Chains A and B, each alone.
Chain A
Amino acid sequence: MATINTASPKQAEIIIRPPTQSRLLDVGELFRYRGLLWSMSRRQVKAEFGDLHLGIFWVLARPLLMTAIFVFFKNVSNANTGVSVPYAAYLYSGLILWFFFAESVGRAAASIGKDGALMQKVYFPRLLSPLSGILAQLSGLAIAAVPLFLIMIYYGLTPGWNLLLLPVVLLQTMLLAFGTGCLFAALSTLSRDWERLLGLLLYVGLFVSPVIFAPEMLPKAAQGIQMLNPMSGTLLGFRAALFADYALPLYEWLYSLAFSGVLGLVGVLAFQRAERTFMDRI
């Protein structure tokens, strides 16, 4: 019989201990299982764009339609949105990042429900489930980025060296989505109401975050409050990475980064706790 060289989960010794005595986050193990993470993500991408022939259409339809509607409203009402770059580019870029965030959070939050049956049968690092959900969303973002480039070319907007910030901002967005998603995945194993709350937050968040307007539109006091929203700094950072003459609000973005880091840890903690109690329940 042929011997095989295992790709990822090779380990000298597996030590099984009670949750209270084991590491909260085993990064080394996650790294060993990167092959599985990759195939889990790919499977989800395939499910989204492979089976549904209109997959690409659905990814583009939402931000494009909303952009068209809000640009129309702005033009007929002559509203002051406080935006310093062409409105369509500002709006569309905000929408695709928001939808990327919202979808990622949604996938991560649904991960225990989706993979729960699998988790009770096979071992794999449980965090791969929300992680793969978020990674898979990158494909949607990449597709949605194509119209963004066209819009930017149309308005003659060029990114500068600040484009180097883009991966950093995206990683921060994913960390925030991961933390939020894990936290809600954990909470929704305990009460269904958390799922509803998340849906509401993601819906309202679209309108209170600087997606369709710029913070400059708001009165000074409101600006301060709105910057408490971690997605505010994230969205502005994303624009700053894309548009050369859009300044990065450094402190606001660093706040978002710190918030993402803390929420990421809280999310992992909650997820691990929930997964352990969930496993014992059935």
Chain B
Amino acid sequence: MEDYAISVHGLSKRYSLGQKKPSHGAKGMLLGISELFGRTPQDDHSTIWALKNVSFEVRKGERLGFVGKNGAGKSTLLKILSRVAYPTDGEARIRGRVTSLLEVGTGFLNHLTGRQNIYLNASFHGLSKKETEQRIPDIIEFSELERFIDTPIKFYSSGMRARLAFSVAAHLDPDILLLDEVLSVGDMAFAQKCLERVEELTRGERTILFVSHSMDAVRRFCTRCIWLDCGQVVMDGPAREVTDAFTSDSMNLRAHQKWVADLAYKPGTQEDSLTAGLPEPPHARLVAASLLTKDWRHSATVCVSDEINLEVTYDILYDGAYVLPVFRLYNDQGVLIFTIVHHKALPRTYKRNRGRYRSIATIPNHLLAVGKHNVSIGLNTPSSGKLIRHDVIEHALTFYVHEAPLGEPSASGSYVSIKGAVRPLCSWVDEKIEVHSSESD
């Protein structure tokens, strides 16, 4: 007997693209009848498959994330599993009580007060009035809406509705929790609280299905991840691997680049280099660049807690050239964060002869902020006052730094995210320096 919580087999969903408006007139009325009792429309140009033959199984207690572009079918899938949309084909089996939180304001009625809506929502999930009453103080406290709880929710802001919706869902104690972009609603402080609550919920035996555009959130909460594209499963595996693959694909990340294919030197340069003075620059050119993880793998996604190795391969064209590679790191806003140079290479000791060289610079861990980064690479000769540029390639490498998985040290601590171009992990000391009288009571 398989111990699955959710089993999805060959699930497909077709939507009609042409939006049917209610038609008028006697003809519209008759069309209505034929539409109700007639056959369903067949596959043609006006239909789209939001999901096509999706199969997977979720074990009890597994935390499965879904990633993919907009319209990849993630939300459709959760809708079908929440039974607010029907599949066109295939089958899904669910074992256990399901609570889903899809978009904002899940199942609220505008004319009811916040409190009445809590009862209503709880009753949809099979909680009796008594059971709901036991939870109400916790729900209201969590939502931070004490003052407005007896106000009809038509007067609520969308943020307030989201808070209430999350608070109810988070206190229903389901076996299976379906979450769709919940963490993108409300203000930062509340989003933080939601994250903590999800974390709390994940500690139990709960099975969680989580759709998010935040790779960090998926990496943080999910053990496993499915990448959907055009309604089909592209990849299914450990959360880290799948999110990395998806990030590289969707952000056009580049962990490796090569510019010069052949190893041949330019003819005729040798005699020139024998002379005391070097010829006009360039004296060197770039060959290739790579981004390597600490175990020397090419990777375009790295974790904040990992060191990053930037490798550059270049040819020095003349003997005795003083050529230094330089890396410049830019963030996604195009801001230059820092420049890396070889700090020990002095002109007198660092003249090198013709040949192919490789330099590796290691960026310490816990330095870069979470996000996309660009690396520009140059070959320079710094000489008194002026800089000779031999070769420069902008945006040579593009990589993404993601948040550390749950449990590993991270400079953001318990925050969802922290601002800044860099985020070093600084040491921190807290001390109690005074005892207030109120505490001695």
A residues contacting B by CB (< 8 A) are 1-4, 6-10, 12-20, 35-36, 39-40, 43, 118-124, 186-187, 189-194, 197, 269-270, 273-274, 276-277, 279-281
B84 touches A121 (CB 8 A): yes
B37 touches A13 (CB 8 A): no
Q: Knowing that A35-B126, A189-B22 touch, tell me 8 more A-B residue pairs with CB under 8 angstroms.
A: A14-B83, A14-B98, A15-B93, A36-B124, A118-B109, A121-B102, A122-B124, A123-B124
- The smallest beta-carbon distance between B20 and chain A, in angstroms, is 7
Task: Write out the residue numbers on chain B whose beta carbons fall within 8 Å of the beta carbon of A1.
Answer: 173, 204
Complex formed: what's the CA distance from A123 to B106 in Å? 11
Task: Write out the residue numbers on chain B whose beta carbons fall within 8 Å of the beta carbon of A15.
Answer: 91-93
B residues contacting A by CB (< 8 A) are 15-16, 19-20, 22-26, 28-29, 31-33, 35-37, 40, 80-95, 97-98, 102-103, 105-109, 119-121, 123-129, 131, 134, 173, 204
B173 touches A190 (CB 8 A): no
Residue of A nearest to B88 (CB): A18
Residue of B nearest to A190 (CB): B32
A280 touches B127 (CB 8 A): no
B36 touches A123 (CB 8 A): no
Task: Write out the residue numbers on chain A whose beta carbons fall within 8 Å of the beta carbon of B16.
Answer: 280
B121 touches A122 (CB 8 A): yes
Max chain A C-beta neighbours (<10 A), residue from B80, B127, B204: B127
Task: Write out the residue numbers on chain B whose beta carbons fall within 8 Å of the beta carbon of A118.
Answer: 107, 109
B126 touches A122 (CB 8 A): no
Task: Write out the residue numbers on chain A whose beta carbons fall within 8 Å of the beta carbon of B22.
Answer: 189-192
Residue of A nearest to B35 (CB): A190
Max chain A C-beta neighbours (<10 A), residue from B20, B36, B83, B106: B36
Task: Write out the residue numbers on chain A whose beta carbons fall within 8 Å of the beta carbon of B103.
Answer: 121
Task: Write out the residue numbers on chain B whose beta carbons fall within 8 Å of the beta carbon of A197.
Answer: 29
Using A1-B173, A2-B173, A190-B35 as known contacts, say yes or no to A7 and B28 having CB atoms under 8 A apart.
no
Complex formed: what's the CA distance from A2 to B133 in Å? 13
Task: Write out the residue numbers on chain B whose beta carbons fall within 8 Å of the beta carbon of A270.
Answer: 36-37
4 residue pairs, one from A and one from B, having the closest CB atoms: A190-B32, A122-B107, A123-B83, A6-B126
Task: Write out the residue numbers on chain A whose beta carbons fall within 8 Å of the beta carbon of B31.
Answer: 190-191
A190 touches B28 (CB 8 A): yes
B97 touches A3 (CB 8 A): no
Complex formed: what's the CA distance from A270 to B20 in Å? 18
Task: Write out the residue numbers on chain A whose beta carbons fall within 8 Å of the beta carbon of B85.
Answer: 279-280
* Neighbour of B131 across the interface among A4, A36, A40, CB < 8 A: A4
- The smallest beta-carbon distance between B77 and chain A, in angstroms, is 11
* Neighbour of B94 across the interface among A14, A19, A189, CB < 8 A: A14
A12 touches B95 (CB 8 A): yes
